[in-house]
């Protein structure tokens, strides 16, 4: 709760200062700012779905490993090591692929957000320069 109040105070004070220094430029930059929210929400949803899928896959991998280790005498007596090892490897590969995909989504979201932020800065600078020249 303390971080929320601190962040809200920073936003309010920052906007007040920005409007005091140059209200036209502040309005233009605020008009472009919702893109951050849109991209953030879309990528957050993608990352959350990949995280949930990854947790389910990790549970399956752990189930196979724990069942194999708890019944190692049975597995050994029926010569099932290769089968269970292959099953574990396939589940582990799916988990790794999912986590790599999640990492790509995280990297793309960060890239888009920084692209938008620096685009807003460049747009604001161009407007400020055109107003002052």
| Cα–Cα nearest to 123, from 38, 40, 36, 25 | 25
Neighbour count for residue 65 (Cβ, 10 Å) = 14
Residues 6+ apart with CB under 8 A from 13: none
Q: Name the band, by pLDDT with cuts 50, 70 and 90, for residue 75.
A: low
**CA angle, residues 27, 28, 32, in degrees to nearest 5:** 110
Per-residue model confidence as pLDDT tens digits over 27-50: 877 887 888 888 888 989 989 999
- Whether the per-residue pLDDT at 59 is higher than 70: the answer is yes
Per-residue model confidence as pLDDT tens digits over 106-133: 999 999 888 888 888 888 778 777 777 7
- Whether the per-residue pLDDT at 24 is higher than 90: the answer is no
- Whether the per-residue pLDDT at 99 is higher than 90: the answer is yes
- How much is the pTM? 0.70
Q: How far apart are CA 55 and CA 70, in angstroms?
A: 22
């Amino acid at each position: 709760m303390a971080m929320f109040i601190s962040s809200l105070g920073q936003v309010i004070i920052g906007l007040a200062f920005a409007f005091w220094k140059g209200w036209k430029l502040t309005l233009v930059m605020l008009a472009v700012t919702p893109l951050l929210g849109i991209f953030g929400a879309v990528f957050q949803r993608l990352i959350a779905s990949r995280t949930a899928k990854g947790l389910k896959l990790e549970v399956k991998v752990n189930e196979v490993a724990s069942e194999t280790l708890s019944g190692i005498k049975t597995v050994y007596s029926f010569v099932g090591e290769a089968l269970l090892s292959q099953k574990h490897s396939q589940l582990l590969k799916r988990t790794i692929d999912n986590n790599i995909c999640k990492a790509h989504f995280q990297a793309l979201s960060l890239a888009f957000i920084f692209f938008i932020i620096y685009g807003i800065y460049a747009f604001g600078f161009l407007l400020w320069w055109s107003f002052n020249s």
